[in-house]
Amino acid sequence: MTEWTAICFVHDIPALGARRVRRARGLDVAIFRNGAGELFALLDRCPHQGGPLSQGLVFGRSVACPLHGWTIELADGQAAAPDTGCTPRFALKVDAGIVYLSTQELASHALDLPAPVAGPCRRRHALA
């Protein structure tokens, strides 16, 4: 039987937006709410270059990555053609207005994916 972790209330997730969920290990999870009120949970990482999907534009049943505009399907994490790749999805349920994620998946799912590298390059040697 699946154990569930309470995350937030449905109304805590903005319509056409997302809420990030921190995990003890691994990258954050993003819970999305589309215009129809449907909820979806994906790893907060675009399969292209690791952009934060939680900061993207939600439209229909998709989200556009804020870095390069890749369209990711919210139901399964697949990149829309012609792009390829997939972001892991997480089991989600709603009960009495409370959003739950699978406890087991939060602890173990998609822990092997590296965090995106952002910011200035590190210099190994001082410039002369």
pTM more than 0.85 = yes
CATH 3.20.20.70, domain 4-108, yes or no: no
Closest CA to 86 of 103, 68, 74: 74
Task: Compute CA distances 108 → 7, 29, 36, 98, 104, whole Å.
Answer: 17, 12, 30, 22, 6
**Per-residue model confidence (pLDDT) at position 128:** 47
pLDDT above 90 covers a percentage of the chain that reads 86
**Residues 70, 36, 104, 78: is their CA dihedral positive or negative?**
negative
Residue pair 87/72 in contact (Cβ under 8 Å)? The answer is yes
